[in-house]
Amino acid sequence: MTVTPGSFRTNFPEFASASIYPDATVNYWLGIGAKLLRPDRWEDMLDHGLELFAAHHIALAAQAVKASAAGGSPGANTGVTTSKTVDKVSVSYDAGSTTLDAGAGHWNATVYGVQFLQLVRMFGSGGWQL
């Protein structure tokens, strides 16, 4: 099976809006992923890996667009918010529970990246000998 914007949107309905996430953007990231992921390692999980790869990068791009629209710097890396206080209301998150590890870099920035990197580590581990 080959991943298309349509199949991507079916499997990841949160990206269903073609006006917010244009086909050109989806195709761009699917194409980059296709150049980077080795079919001989991923085998029948390749399509899922490509979709996670694309979803991660599309989500990061959407964050950059949102920041830019609010007058911020697109692409600025602010890290994971662990607490926020507005007046008497406070919220905090356990960032450690959603990050893979400190060495995972930008893959920790989205749930898609964490899932992708977990698979990369499994498929990239090579053969096992007992």
pLDDT in tens, 15-60: 999 999 999 999 999 999 999 998 988 999 999 999 999 999 999 9
Residues 4-27 have pLDDT tens digits of 999 999 999 999 999 999 999 999
C-alpha 10/C-alpha 99 separation (Å) is 26
Best mean pLDDT range from 29-43, 66-80, 83-97, 115-129 = 29-43
Q: How confident is the model at residue 129 (pLDDT cuts 50, 70, 90)?
A: low
pLDDT at 13: 97
pLDDT at 1: 57
DSSP per-residue letters across 50-88 = HHHHHHHHHHHHHHHHHHHHTTS-TT-------EEEETT
The predicted model scores a pTM of 0.78
